Structure 1
Amino acid sequence: MACGHCLGACGLWTSGVHRRNHGPEIQTLIGSDTSEVSQELLETDGFVILRNVVKRDALRCLGHKILRYFDRYEDLPDFFRKELSPTAGGAVELNRIDKLVPGFYDEVLLQMIEERCAAVLRQDVSFTFANAILKPKQHGAPIRPHQDAAYDGQEAAEQGYTVWLPFTDAHIETGTLFYMPGSHKRGPKTHETSAGVRHVTLPDDAELAPAEIPLGGISLHSALTIHGSFPNLSDEPRLALSLRLQPRT
Structure 2
Amino acid sequence: EPPYAITAWYAVDDSDRENGCMQVIPNTHHGIQEHGKSAQKGNLLSINQEVLVTPEQRQTAVDLPLRAGQMSLHDGTLIHGSLPNRSDRRRCGLTLRYVPTWVKQTVDNSHGKRWNGILVRGVDTEQNFGQLAAPFPLPSAA
Which category of TM-score, normalised to the shorter sequence, fits these structures?
Answer: 0.5 to 0.7
Aligned equivalent of 1:219: 72
Whether contact under 8 Å (2:19, 2:91) holds in the other structure is: yes
Structure showing the higher helix proportion among its residues: 1
2:43 aligned with 1:192? no
TM norm structure 2: 0.59
Deviation at 1:198, TM superposition (A): 1.7
* Inter-partner Cα distance in structure 2 for 1:214 and 1:238: 11
Deviation at 1:204, TM superposition (A): 1.0
Report matched runs for 1:144-155 at 5 Å.
Answer: 154-155=1-2
Deviation at 1:183, TM superposition (A): 0.6
Report matched runs for 1:195-214 at 5 Å.
Answer: 197-206=48-57, 207-214=60-67
SS of the residue aligned with 1:205? Answer: helix
Please tell me the residue identity of whatever aligns with 1:204.
Answer: P
Closer, same or farther in 2 for the Cα pair 1:222/1:210, shift >3 Å? same
Closer, same or farther in 2 for the Cα pair 1:166/1:181, shift >3 Å? same
* Inter-partner Cα distance in structure 1 for 2:48 and 2:68: 28
Gaps of 5+ in 1: 1-153
Please tell me the residue identity of whatever aligns with 1:172.
Answer: R
Aligned equivalent of 1:234: 87
Whether contact under 8 Å (2:14, 2:91) holds in the other structure is: no
Please tell me the residue identity of whatever aligns with 2:28.
Answer: S
Deviation at 1:170, TM superposition (A): 1.1
2:7 aligned with 1:162? yes
Deviation at 1:197, TM superposition (A): 2.2
* 1:187-221 superposed Cα distances (whole Å, 9 cap, x missing partner): 11111124572211111111110101122210101
Deviation at 1:230, TM superposition (A): 1.7
TM norm structure 1: 0.35
How many residues in Structure 1 have an aligned counterpart in Structure 2? 93
Aligned equivalent of 2:116: none
Please tell me the residue identity of whatever aligns with 1:164.
Answer: W
- Identical-pair percentage: 32
Please tell me the residue identity of whatever aligns with 2:48.
Answer: V
SS of the residue aligned with 2:29? Answer: helix
* Inter-partner Cα distance in structure 1 for 2:38 and 2:55: 20
Report matched runs for 1:20-39 at 5 Å.
Answer: none
Gaps of 5+ in 2: 40-46, 101-120, 125-142
Deviation at 1:169, TM superposition (A): 1.5
* Inter-partner Cα distance in structure 1 for 2:96 and 2:65: 18
Deviation at 1:236, TM superposition (A): 1.9
* Inter-partner Cα distance in structure 2 for 1:194 and 1:228: 12
Aligned-pair Cα RMSD in Å: 1.7
